[in-house]
Amino acid sequence: MKILLVYPEYPDTFWSFKHALKFVGKRAAMPPLGLLTVAAMLPKHWEIKLVDTNIEKLTEKDILWAEYIFISAMNIQKSSAEYIISECKKLNAKIVAGGPLFTMEHENFPEVDHFVLNEAELTLPDFIRDLENGSAKKIYTSSKFCDIKTSPMPMYELVKFKHYATIGLQFSRGCPFHCDFCNITLLLGKVPRIKSSEQIIAELNKLHYLGWRRGVFFVDDNFICNKVELKDNILPKLIEWRKGKAGMAFVTELSINIADDEKLMDMMVDAGFSSVFVGIESPNKASLEECNKSQNSNCDLIDSIKKIQAKGMQVQGGFIVGFDNDGPSIFEEMVELIQKSGVVTAMVGKLQAPPKTSLWERLKKENRIIGGITGDNADGSTNIVTKMDIKILHEGYKKILQDIYSPKAFVSRVITFLKNYGESKVKPYIEFQYVLAVPRAIFYLGIIGKDRKQFWKLFFWALFRKPKFFPLAITFAIYGYHFRKVSDLHLI
């Protein structure tokens, strides 16, 4: 059997980092971990190819080569997925679809021949068996959750490493919290499941053997979901594994309550974690309680963020406006929170209600759902009738973006962060393309850029005040360029 794995393209979003990646000669942020894991589950005698349309074009030759096209996508990739499916069907290709997008709305894709939904560890074996027997069904689904200790090592060897800035690795699935706007527990459950330390080390060894030295994103829904296992097993093994190795800084997603556990933060830094994404959401306590974000409503957000930063981990933050409890003051309060906390990478979006979430069900009863979601939590769209006048919400949202990504405010926020930042324990790995990022930044941002004054302010401040963080300052300057380019798309 000849199988072509196809990954749809991301639109130009905050999370794509497309404009920033050009400075380091990369085409995409991360390869498709889900498809790499699916590839490892396919029979060994099948031929497998991977086309990630974020780094290369899907050609007619590719489609005609394959007996089946396997496609996986998230909501944000829906438009690209629809286009790929259409092009494949023009050539009479057989399509097998799975992943979050199709699991949540497979009925919207009538051209797909077979759906392998939910977790592939449970549904893919039945499909493969039936396919080889000539009796494959339309839909394969399961309401159960797999033991990810049985999940195979992803086929990292399919990846064209030179085109990516980071790569994904998974330790756990599921989240113990139940934020009402989030569909993670619908897809992956409320009880976190974890891999063994042996699995994690084996995957890291595979990546290291294949020559990977850049960032590794632990794509967990909440990395600290099992603190006991982390402290007693996983992190000590990661700390031991890292000895003598350069590069491969770790990034992950977690909840803000890590700030209450100094030992856990210290161990994560020692293990090589240099950046974490945190769903901060809102400075409005009533809005946090409204969406069931108890872990945030019971703490001082700025103090918690600064504790994490001081340990040596950057905090990337997700923020939301448009809650029922948000008033007109929320926009200024949001800007103040972001600026004072020094969250350089601040992703702000309007509230969206993913299908079947608690928020969706509540608003559906109130006749306040007005369509589907884009999957982009920072594109300025919403699919709900907000209690705040929509024009006020839209103008306030635009004002937030204008404020936090104006060159002056952005540089001020970077400086606030660098003054408070601890230091990563990761030994630097020098890559030529990343060295070239400095002269590229000087030329595009400091010479021909519109915001030259603020670039040079950050350049010289970091060079003389925080020289050990100078490369990070340049990285942030490039991020700022990307964020402003994307913000401009949403300020129309």
pLDDT digits (tens, 9 = 90+) for 315-367: 999 999 999 999 999 999 999 999 999 999 999 999 999 999 999 999 999 99
Confidence of residue 375 (pLDDT cuts 50, 70, 90): confident
Q: Report yes or no: 295 and 409 within 8 Å, Cβ to Cβ.
A: no
Q: What 3-state DSSP class applies to 467?
A: helix
Q: What is the pLDDT of residues 264-297, one digit of tens each?
A: 999 999 999 999 999 999 999 999 999 999 999 9
**What residues have CB less than 8 Å from 283, skipping those under 6 apart?**
301, 330, 333, 334, 336, 337
Query: Hunting for tokens 């029922």 — which residue is that?
Result: 324
The amino acid present at 260, given as its one-letter code, is D
48 near 156, Cβ under 8 Å? no
Q: What is the rounded average pLDDT of the residues 475-486? A: 96
Taking the C-alpha atoms of residue 426 and residue 424, their distance in angstroms, rounded to an integer, is 6
Residue 488 has pLDDT above 90, yes or no: no
Average pLDDT for 19-37? 97
More confident residue, 185 or 61: 61
pLDDT over 90 at 383, yes or no: yes
Distance CA 368, CA 389 (A): 13
The answer on pLDDT for 118 being more than 70 is: yes
Residue 445 per-residue DSSP state:
I
Whether pLDDT at 145 is above 80: yes
Judged by phi (left if over 0) then psi (alpha if -120 to 50, else beta), residue 247 lies in: left
Distances (CA, A) of 2 to 46, 50, 93, 199: 6, 11, 12, 28
If pLDDT is split at 50, 70 and 90, which confidence band does 378 have? confident
Note the pTM of the prediction, 2 decimals. 0.95
| Region for 490 from its dihedrals, namely left if φ exceeds 0, alpha if ψ lies in -120 to 50, beta otherwise | alpha
pLDDT tops 70 at residue 492: no
Q: Quick check: 421 and 475 in contact, CB under 8 A?
A: no
Residue-level pLDDT at 489: 80
Query: Is 477 a residue whose pLDDT tops 80?
Result: yes
Tell me: pLDDT of 210 over 80: yes
Q: What pLDDT shows up at residue 172?
A: 96
483-489: list long-range contacts, CB under 8 Å, 24+ apart: 483/14, 483/345, 483/405, 483/410, 484/405, 484/407, 484/410, 484/451, 485/12, 485/19, 486/12, 486/13, 486/14, 486/19, 486/378, 487/401, 487/402, 487/405, 489/12, 489/379
Query: What value does the mean pLDDT of the chain take?
Result: 96
pLDDT at 377: 74
What local confidence, expressed as pLDDT, does residue 323 receive? 98
Q: Tokens representing 84?
A: 């790929």
Contact 404, 335 (CB under 8 A): yes
Mean pLDDT over 392-421 rounds to 97
Q: What is the pLDDT of residue 127?
A: 98
User: 381 burial class (0-12, 13-18, 19+ CB within 10 angstroms)?
Assistant: middle
Res. 369 pLDDT band, cuts 50 70 90: very high
Place of tokens 């990563």: 424
Return the ∠ at Cα 30 (arms to 26 and 32), rounded to 5°. 135
pLDDT at 30: 97
Give the per-residue pLDDT at 59: 98
What pLDDT score does 374 carry?
87
Report whether pLDDT(219) > 70: yes
DSSP state of 256: G
Q: How far is CA 107 from the centre of its chain?
A: 26
pLDDT band at 138 (very low <50, low <70, confident <90, very high): very high
- Provide mean pLDDT across the span 240-257: 96
How confident is residue 379, by pLDDT bands cut at 50, 70 and 90? confident
Q: How far apart are CA 235 and CA 233, in angstroms?
A: 6
Instruction: Flag whether pLDDT at 78 surpasses 90.
Output: yes
Q: In this structure, how many other beta carbons lie within 10 angstroms of the beta carbon of residue 191?
A: 12
Instruction: Identify the burial level of 70 via C-beta atoms within 10 angstroms of its C-beta, where 0-12 means exposed, 13-18 middle and 19 or more buried.
Output: buried
Take residue 148 and report the two structure tokens written for it: 């990810």
**Token output for 268:** 């994560």
**Average pLDDT in the 482-489 region?**
90
Asked whether 420 and 390 are in contact (CB, 8 A), the reply is no
24 pLDDT higher than 80 = yes
Per-residue pLDDT at 143 = 94
Q: Are 187 and 119 in contact (CB under 8 A)?
A: no
Domains of the chain with bracketed CATH: 2-140 (3.40.50.280), 165-349+401-420 (3.20.20.70)
How far apart, in whole angstroms, are the C-alpha atoms of residue 193 and residue 173?
Answer: 5
